[in-house]
């Protein structure tokens, strides 16, 4: 099955009290969410959130309360969805057309995205459509500064929904927007009052599909929103030297009380990249720094291939490359976007320099 034929999944995340359940209750009543399967991950033996979401003939709600999706029960996601799927088929219900996963307020979304990519049953039926993160305008600034999970939720999102704006003054809202733009400059920021928003505003943010116009790929990457870093020509460093910038202080990235620094940046490569260089670089990057790579997006001009590739990675896991039309990379320049935790851009670009250099010139 082609990626374009898979059912879309929206991951709905946000810290405690940000308004996820209120939003979800509004969404499932809209025609665009018709035939949606809603998976609500609750923490604790007695779940309540699923009882607050309207249930009707056009969608089904699955409650998971055996733990937090991001750490203890990722296997349960596949089993729960499969059981719901089979029950709907057995009972003659409407077929599922999309899925919404609401995480707990303390969840890191990255492992959930990995599960969608790697679980055999899920990966053959569903594709990530986008990550939507809710941020409470009244408490968002303090939450971002105090909680690692909140920073990661915002950093990995495709769309940021600012809730409860009526409870914050203009100055606080401006500071919140600025900090969110620092953490995740490419994500669209939308204001939401009482959970009211058109469902279509939150969908179709997915990885480009084969045969689609280049504009879709360009909008998905949104490289222009990120800080641009340059490759440094000259003698290539060793892998140990390349990873040394991890130890250098990061002054430009927001720092949480846990010491985590969220960084987002982009770099470009003008010449076509040899496939073995791309593979070796990404393999070593994931081996050394994979847990710190919150999200990677790229449109790559690969040497010897007529069509550019779209790459999407979350920590150690990469989605299978997607071939794009030539219009997705008309200037032949490869562009890589990184959202990282505590990784200096030089640690990424210098590793690339190492593999890009002719083998005879590499340090031993």
Reported as a single tens digit per residue, the pLDDT across 100-123 is 998 888 888 888 888 888 889 999
Tokens 């927001």 correspond to: 254
Lowest mean per-residue pLDDT among 125-129, 137-141, 340-344: 340-344
Residue 157: DSSP 8-state: -
Tokens 């919150």 correspond to: 294
* CATH number belonging to domain 3-202: 3.40.50.300
Q: What angle do CA 204, 9, 194 make, to 5 degrees?
A: 75
Per-residue pLDDT at 2:
59
- Are 132 and 159 within 8 A, CB to CB? yes
Of 205, 204, 217, nearest in space to 324 by CA: 217
- Are 214 and 330 within 8 A, CB to CB? yes
Strands 188-192, 159-163: pairing kind:
parallel
d(CA 95, CA 37): 9
Q: Per-residue pLDDT averaged across 62-90, rounded?
A: 65
Domain boundaries, the chain: 3-202, 214-361
Q: For the domain with range 214-361, which CATH number is right: 3.30.420.40, 3.30.1220.10, 3.40.47.10, 3.90.220.20?
A: 3.30.1220.10
Tokens 């009543």 correspond to: 29
- Model confidence pLDDT, tens digit, residues 198-256: 999 988 877 777 655 556 777 788 888 888 887 765 445 555 655 555 444 444 444 44
Tokens 């790697």 correspond to: 118
d(CA 160, CA 142): 17
- How many other CB atoms sit within 10 Å of the CB of residue 149? 21
Helix axes of 345-356 and 275-289: crossing angle, nearest 10 degrees: 140
pLDDT at 257 over 60: no
Per-residue pLDDT at 55:
47
The DSSP bridge partners found for residue 262 are 341
The top-scoring range by mean pLDDT among 65-69, 76-80, 294-298 is 294-298
pTM: 0.81
Residue 249: DSSP 8-state: -
CA dihedral 339, 342, 345, 346 (to 10 degrees): -150
Radius of gyration of the chain (CA): 21
d(CA 243, CA 263): 16
- Model confidence pLDDT, tens digit, residues 148-205: 889 999 999 999 999 998 888 999 999 999 999 999 999 999 999 888 999 999 888 7
Per-residue pLDDT at 260:
53
Of 160, 26, 157, 28, nearest in space to 97 by CA: 28
Residue 321: DSSP 8-state: P
Tokens 């069509």 correspond to: 307
H or E segment and range at residue 98: strand 98-102
Pairwise pLDDT comparison (199 vs 74), residue with the higher score: 199
DSSP per residue over 87-149, as a string? HHHHTT-PPP-EEEEEPPTT--SHHHHHHHHH-HHHHTTEEEEEEEEEEETTTHHHHHHH-HH
DSSP per residue over 159-191, as a string? EEEEE-GGGS-HHHHHHHHHHHHHH-TTSEEEE
pLDDT at 69 over 50: no
- Which tokens go with 226? 């990120």
- The torsion angles phi and psi of 49, rounded to 5 degrees, stand at -55, -40
274 CB-near residues (< 8 Å, 6+ apart):
302, 303
Q: Per-residue pLDDT averaged across 328-343, rounded?
A: 89
d(CA 22, CA 164): 11
d(CA 166, CA 189): 16
d(CA 151, CA 103): 15
- Are 334 and 217 within 8 A, CB to CB? no
């Amino acid at each position: 099955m082609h990626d374009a034929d898979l059912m879309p999944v929206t991951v709905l995340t946000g810290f405690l009290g940000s308004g996820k359940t209120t939003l979800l209750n509004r969404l499932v009543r809209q025609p665009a969410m018709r035939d949606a399967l809603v998976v609500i991950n609750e923490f604790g033996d007695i779940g309540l959130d699923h009882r607050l979401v309207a249930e009707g003939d056009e969608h089904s709600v699955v409650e998971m309360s055996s733990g937090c999706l991001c750490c203890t029960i990722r296997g349960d996601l596949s089993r729960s969805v499969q059981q719901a799927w089979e029950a709907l088929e057995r009972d003659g219900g409407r077929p599922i057309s999309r899925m919404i996963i609401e995480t707990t307020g303390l969840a890191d979304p990255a492992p959930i995205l990995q599960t969608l990519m790697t679980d055999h049953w899920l990966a053959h039926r569903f594709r990530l459509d986008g990550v939507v993160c809710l941020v409470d305008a009244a408490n968002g600034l303090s939450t971002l500064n105090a909680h690692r999970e909140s920073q990661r939720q915002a950093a990995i999102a495709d769309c940021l929904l600012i809730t409860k704006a009526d409870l914050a003054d203009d100055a606080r809202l401006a500071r919140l927007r600025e900090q969110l733009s620092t953490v995740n400059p490419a994500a669209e920021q939308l204001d939401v009052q009482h959970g009211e928003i058109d469902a279509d505003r939150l969908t179709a943010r997915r990885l480009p599909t084969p045969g689609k116009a280049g504009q879709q790929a360009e909008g998905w990457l949104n490289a222009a929103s990120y800080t641009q870093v340059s490759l440094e020509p000259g003698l290539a460093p060793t892998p140990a030297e390349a990873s040394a910038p991890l130890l250098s202080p990061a002054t430009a990235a927001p720092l949480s009380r846990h010491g985590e620094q969220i960084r987002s940046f982009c770099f470009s490569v003008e010449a076509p990249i040899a496939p073995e260089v791309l593979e070796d670089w990404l393999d070593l990057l994931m081996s050394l720094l994979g847990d710190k790579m919150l999200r990677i997006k790229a449109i790559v001009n690969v040497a010897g291939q007529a069509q550019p590739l779209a790459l999407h990675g979350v920590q150690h896991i990469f989605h299978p490359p997607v071939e794009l039309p030539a219009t997705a990379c008309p200037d032949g320049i490869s562009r890589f976007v990184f959202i990282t935790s505590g990784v200096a851009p030089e640690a990424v670009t210098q590793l690339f320099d190492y593999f890009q250099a002719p083998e005879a010139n590499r340090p031993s």
